[in-house]
Amino acid sequence: MPAHQSGYALLPDLPGGLDRHPDQRRTFVWGKLMPVYGQTTIFSLPHACLAAGLLDDVGTGQPLNWSVLLQRAQAKWQCAEDCFLSDAAKLGISPRSVERRARAQRGAIIGWQPAGLLGTPTDEMRFGICPDLELTVAVLSCCISDIFFSARAPDFSWATLFGRAFACDDDLGPAPALDQAPWQQYAWEPPEPTS
């Protein structure tokens, strides 16, 4: 495929697309894949709990990943969302404030389940993890599968909040990479490989 001088590439013909009328003059389309937003943001409640100081038994020299943080959260709150919400309330986070924060985002955002929380990849986008506990709860509680709906009534079940992470290419809030504050003080290891 020839390359355009500015980094654009000739887009391939799609079935039933540009090539469907061979008797007419052909039109070439140049395009460039670009991120919707300059950063991919990951929302992970175990990480946000660490940043908020709710997982205070985690040492700075201990190698961490999503699985380790999730195990710490499960041990602390015994997989009971009421216990977690009680601790979050001490930081001023309530179901009502979470719902207001979610509705302030307005609309729907299509995301995906991140394969691993490894920090900065080698491609042109920078992955960051949101340290804002209230925003993380707001986003995760209003997700259905891989879509965030700001108008959805929040689901505060343990499985919804802690059962997965959500990644999206959108500017919802701060999302520093693992080599930036508040994450840089911790030792990070890759998650265990999945088979």
Count Cα neighbours of 69 within 13 Å in the Cβ-side half-sphere. Answer: 28
Count of beta carbons in the 10 Å neighbourhood of residue 81: 18
The H helix count followed by the E strand count for the chain is 6, 10
Burial class from Cβ neighbours inside 10 Å (0-12, 13-18, 19+) for residue 17 reads: exposed
Burial class from Cβ neighbours inside 10 Å (0-12, 13-18, 19+) for residue 103 reads: middle
Q: Which residue has the tokens 């959805």?
A: 152
Contact 168, 114 (CB under 8 A): no
Highest mean pLDDT: which range of 1-5, 66-70, 134-138, 143-147: 134-138
13 versus 143: the higher-pLDDT residue is 143
| pTM exceeds 0.85 for this model | no
Cis omega (within 30 of 0) for bond into 182: yes
Residue 192: band (very low, low, confident or very high) from pLDDT cuts 50, 70, 90: low
Q: What angle do CA 113, 115, 121 make, to 5 degrees?
A: 115
* Average pLDDT over the chain, rounded to an integer: 80
With a cut of 80, say whether residue 11 has pLDDT above it.
no
**φ, ψ dihedrals at 11, nearest 5°:** -75, 140
Give tens-digit pLDDT for 110-160: 998 887 654 433 333 457 899 999 999 999 999 998 999 999 999 999 999
Q: What percent of the chain has pLDDT over 70?
A: 70
Question: Which residue in 173, 179, 38, 74 sits closest to 117, CA to CA?
Answer: 179
Q: What pLDDT is recorded for position 31?
A: 62
User: So where are the chain's domains?
Assistant: 39-188
In this structure, of 28-32, 44-48, 126-130, 142-146, the range with the lowest mean pLDDT score is 28-32
* CA distance linking residue 174 with residue 154, whole number of Å: 21
